[in-house]
Every structure is written in structure tokens, then in C-alpha cells.
Amino acid sequence: MVDDFEKEINLPNIIPIFPLVGVVMFPDTYLPLNIFETRYLKMVDNAISNKNRLIGMIQPKNLNKSDEKSAFYRVGCAGKIIKFEETDDNRYLITLKGLSRFNLISEKTNEKDYKEANISWENFSKDLNINAKSSDFSTLKKTLKKYFKSKNIRANTDAIDTFNDYNFVDQITMICPLANNEKQLLLETTSISKREKLLQTILDSYISEENISNTIKH
């Protein structure tokens, strides 16, 4: 069944992965990256030379925990390079468009010194056929404004009111300074409706903590 699925969507089961702490990507979102390390410049060179132009984004785990079996979380998201620019100081400025999440099966460092992973797409087959229904996200937007205020984050609240993209939840998850494990939990939550409820809960908890802290100070 796994083989049939991979054949149907024509995706490889081995892709390069780019580990970044605190960075997650979701299907149908856009992630700009500034590439400057030699090994990752090579990774981009190789990805561009392939027809699919895929790079997998994945979060490293806390390596201080001796009981971890893997240095990475088990779920990441693959994105296709849709924009590429080379700078005068030999950096690459690229933009990935999120395609599908994946399960990490195994990983290794290749001869070019970057990571390649054996992955499975099966658990996230719906990522390729998203039912894109827009919404006003009114409750989440109100909570988001309170969260920004509690964190002293300057934001264009008028612009927030205009957002109605179906994946507003995912975009907010990517840009908000949430804890790494919270971002990972949202990434691993299968449906976007469940992610909305989870994000609402997480933001509410931050607001409550700030309110309690302010009460104690006064």
C-alpha cells in the first residue's frame, strides 16, 4: 500500500533534509531561507538538479536528553524550491513551497556532508488534496491580538482582520515565537481544524500566564 501511494503521487522516498530548530513548514505555505553553510549550498545545488526540487524541513531534538533514539523529530514537511537567487557573497536565497508532511524512517550524512532521509508520505496523503475552505477565524484572531499584546509584539492588527486564507492557522504557527515542542505538536496534528483548536489553546495558555504574572507583580 505504501509503495502504491508513493507511485501514485510520484514522490521520492529519499530526500535531503534541512534541520532547523524552531522552524516548521506546512503544506501550501511559503518558507524563505538564507543558505550560507557549504554543505547546505551543496544540498540546494543537488535539489535544484532534481526534477522534484524537494527539501525536507525537520526540527532537531534536544540532544542533551540521553534517552533520545533519534536526533530529529519523526515528522517534517517537504517543500519544493520555487524561488532561487545567488548573492554576491555566495549565499543562496531560496523559497520553499510546502508540499506534504512526512514521517522520518531513518537518516544519514552523505558524502557531501548533509543529511539525507528515508521517509514515508503515507500518513499524510491528504496533504496533497487539501479541501481549501476559507474562514474568518474571528475567535482565533481576537486571541492572537491578545497574545501579541501580552508578549509586547508589534503587529498590524488591521491586517490580521483581513486574513481569511484557509491555512491561516499554519501561517501563524510558523511566524509566532511558540516553543519548539508546541510548533512540532501542531505540525504533527493531522487536520487543520484540530490544529486551530490546539493553537487557540496554546495562545490562551500564554495569555493566562502573562495575566497571572502581571497580577503577582502588582
Helices (H), the chain: 2-9, 38-49, 138-150, 157-162, 168-175, 180-188, 192-217
pTM of structure: 0.87
**Residue 86, C-beta contacts closer than 8 angstroms, at least 6 positions apart:** 92, 93
Residues 100-119 have pLDDT tens digits of: 999 999 999 999 999 999 99
Instruction: Tell which wins on pLDDT, 128 or 216.
Output: 128
Residue with cell 543562496: 92
Question: How does residue 20 score in pLDDT terms, banded at 50, 70 and 90?
Answer: very high
Confidence (pLDDT) at 5 = 41
**Burial state string for 67-101 with b = 16 or more CB within 10 A and e = fewer than 16:** eeeeebbebbbbbebeeeeeeeeeebebebbbbbb
Q: How would you class 151 by CB atoms within 10 Å of its CB: exposed for 0-12, middle for 13-18, buried for 19 or more?
A: middle
Question: How does residue 54 score in pLDDT terms, banded at 50, 70 and 90?
Answer: very high
Mean pLDDT of 172-195: 95
**Nearest Cα residue to 106 out of 13, 189, 40, 185:** 13
Question: How does residue 68 score in pLDDT terms, banded at 50, 70 and 90?
Answer: low
| Rounded (10°) CA dihedral 122, 105, 59, 40 | -100
Confidence (pLDDT) at 130 = 76
Question: How does residue 75 score in pLDDT terms, banded at 50, 70 and 90?
Answer: very high
CA distance 13 to 31: 22
Q: What are phi and psi of 159, to 5 degrees?
A: -65, -35
Mean pLDDT of 136-150: 92
Residue with cell 503577582: 216
CA 161 remoteness from chain centre = 23
CA distance 210 to 84: 41
Residues 29-46 have pLDDT tens digits of: 999 999 999 999 999 999
Confidence (pLDDT) at 180 = 95
Amino acid at 178: L
Confidence (pLDDT) at 89 = 96
Residues 154-176 have pLDDT tens digits of: 888 888 888 888 999 999 999 99
